[in-house]
Amino acid sequence: MPLLETHINKSLELSHADLNILESLSVKGYRFLTCKHLCLLYSFSTEECLRRMDKLCGAGLVMRMFLPTTEMEKPEPIYTLTRIGARELARLQHSSTRNLVASARKPSYFFLEHSLMIATFMCSLISALNDSSIKLRFWQSEYNIRSSRRKALMVPDPYEVRHKIPIIPDGLFALEKDGIVDYYFLEADRGTMPIISIRKKMLGYMQFFRKGLHTKLFNIPHFRVLFVTTTPYRRDQARSALREIGHCPNMFLFGLWNNVTRENILRSIWLTCRKETLFSILD
């Protein structure tokens, strides 16, 4: 496979696998990835991934960082694109750096943890789809959605006329099975948001659907919201909050992060707000 010459170091050559990594950290919207994520996306071995990332970090294209850990835990490297990497990727793609993600400074712990949760979901899903007949039609990260709209989505609050509810999805993707396409908004919950805020968020999605904004803004005919959270207790709290609204649509599916793995993500791991039967996202 031909190699791509770089301007930053004449002795450094990038393979197309290296280019895929840089794109994953930018135009594909992941922003922050570990080797576990990259191995799911590209079937690297851990050793090969670490070797590639050492090369990209050494060239200044990628920055390495770590989440805080206990003394007993070995910290796992987290990678993000640098501004140098964004410029080099734009040059290789003959494009602008305007739509490329590059970190100017180290993000907060909470932002980084949330970003890695979203990456875990999507990388697990994409890897699982490789062994199935189901196709990923498209994937837009929160960053992609924000960049395309340049402002937050707002819907009217039905109970407070002067107030609006922001809709900030953590991602939007579409799956195709047997010619049928289903659309999903992702909500990655870290377990820190008050339940009353979750209730407001779900009410916002209901208004979003009632006003037809999913069709107007995203050109999709329907959608489901996947709410992934930390514990069974918190999951059931969120389900109860949805029931309290007085209307409990099946557009919401509730799952747990422990079940978000390559092996399980397409299986029956989801609950609606009322039934105790587990569903697949494709049911």
Q: Look at the block and give the residue holding tokens 């993707």.
A: 173
Q: Is the pLDDT higher at 159 or at 123?
A: 123
Give the pairing type, strands 224-229 and 252-256. parallel
Q: pLDDT tens-digit profile of 194-238?
A: 999 999 999 999 999 999 999 998 999 999 999 999 999 999 999
User: Which of 21-25, 93-97, 147-151 has the largest mean confidence?
Assistant: 21-25
Cα distances from 156 to residues 107, 118, 150, 165, in angstroms, run 32, 27, 19, 6
pLDDT confidence of residue 29: 79
HSE, side-chain direction, 13 A CA sphere, residue 193? 20
Would the pTM count as exceeding 0.85?
yes
From CA 252, how far away is CA 256, in angstroms rounded?
A: 14
pLDDT confidence of residue 131: 87
Q: pLDDT tens-digit profile of 85-120?
A: 888 888 888 777 666 666 556 778 888 899 999 999
The average confidence (pLDDT) of the chain is 88
Q: Look at the block and give the residue holding tokens 């837009």.
A: 140
CA-based torsion, 103, 108, 114, 119: positive or negative: positive
pLDDT confidence of residue 1: 36
Which H helix or E strand runs over 77?
A: none
Query: Is residue 46 pLDDT above 60, yes or no?
Result: yes
pLDDT confidence of residue 63: 92
Q: In the chain, what percentage of residues exceed pLDDT 90?
A: 62
Q: In the chain, what percentage of residues exceed pLDDT 70?
A: 89
Task: Look up residue 49 and give its amino acid.
Answer: C
CB atoms within 10 A of CB 200: 19
HSE, side-chain direction, 13 A CA sphere, residue 94? 0
pLDDT confidence of residue 161: 77
For residues 248-274, give the mean pLDDT: 94
For residues 151-164, give the mean pLDDT: 83
How large is the angle between the packed helices 46-58 and 16-24, nearest 10 degrees? Answer: 80
pLDDT confidence of residue 99: 62
Q: pLDDT tens-digit profile of 35-44?
A: 999 999 999 9
| Domains present along the chain, CATH in parentheses | 4-107 (1.10.10.10), 117-259 (3.40.1350)
In this structure, are residues 78 and 115 in contact, taking their beta carbons and an 8 Å threshold?
no
Cα distances from 129 to residues 29, 49, 79, 104, in angstroms, run 19, 21, 24, 34
